[in-house]
Amino acid sequence: MGSEGAPNFSKQSQPLSFNEALQYYQTKDLSVVRPLIKTSIERRGFAAFKHFLLGPPKLHRELLQERDMIFCIAASQFDNDESVHVRTLQTMFKQITGSKFDCKRYGDHWDQIGFQGTDPATDLRSVGFLGLLHILYFVKDPKLLSLARDIYKLSLHESQNFPFCLMGINLTRITLQALREDCINKECNKRRQVVAVVNDLYVGLYLMLYQKWKHQQMTIINSGPVLNDLEHIAKTNPRHVLRNLEAYLQSAATSKAPGSPKEKQEFTFSSLDEAKSGVGHGEPS
């Protein structure tokens, strides 16, 4: 759908926090989309036997409802009649661009933050509303905002540019697959939560992409191989992704502490290559 006849947001809507958007789904009746979700993959024969003996632990029973909610959000498509959905889009746009006013629901301005066309909803078919929820989390969390802005700045680079939101949607797809294949069960059981682990895996994957993309001067031509590498690491060693994010945030916090150097500290960009080669692996989840 083009911008012709699109609703015109003439007033300034209230920004939406990640917790508000999540609470909307925590209290919403999800029975309509629940039959559509796929929470695991089917394994047969030796693959099933190997997974039973050597695979990751089962997710604790008390976490199953939270896991299922994530898949239900991913199965929920954007709805113009849901104010939470529209406010999420508006909050994302303003947070990323610095704009103070609402934009039109449809239009070329969505390309500015890395959607493909005039309607962001068309890019969400594979991950549903969860694709927006992850971006909202990334740009609204104070400890992550600086990283999100650095990545967005790189996405606008003359030669290294890439679609910021569309790339994020691809990373949401990867996190969903890692969750579906039980790859992060151990970490979820350890922390006794699923949403927070999925969020951290998402941001951790975007951090690893940013580190490699920036310092190895990659372009959009490299996006396919890099996403394939990230999917492999998310499934085989998600703990490495989470530890890399934790170390990055600790480094960022230290650089902001009183008495620390004012110049911004650059964190290692070798983490993706290390994970591929088996160097510096943490304990797999």
Identify which of 186, 53, 31, 166 has the alpha carbon closest to the alpha carbon of residue 111: 166
Q: Are 66 and 98 in contact (CB under 8 A)?
A: no
Structural domain includes residue 177: yes
Indicate whether 284 belongs to any domain: no
Q: Is residue 111 part of a domain?
A: yes
SS3 content of the chain, % helix, strand, coil (to 5): 60, 0, 40
- Flag whether 266 is in a domain: no
The secondary structure of residue 280, as a DSSP letter, is T
Q: What is the pLDDT of residue 277?
A: 57
Among 83, 196, 220, smallest CA distance to 137 is for 196
Q: Is residue 212 part of a domain?
A: yes
User: Which residues of the chain carry a pLDDT beneath 70?
Assistant: 1-11, 41-55, 257-285
Q: Which domain holds residue 227?
A: 18-40+57-254
Dist CA 159 CA 34 (whole Å): 43
Give 165-210 pLDDT, tens digit per residue. 999 999 999 999 999 999 999 999 999 999 999 999 999 999 999 9
Q: Is there a domain that residue 79 lies in? A: yes
265 located within any domain? no
Q: Is residue 137 in some structural domain?
A: yes
- How many structural domains are present in the chain? 1
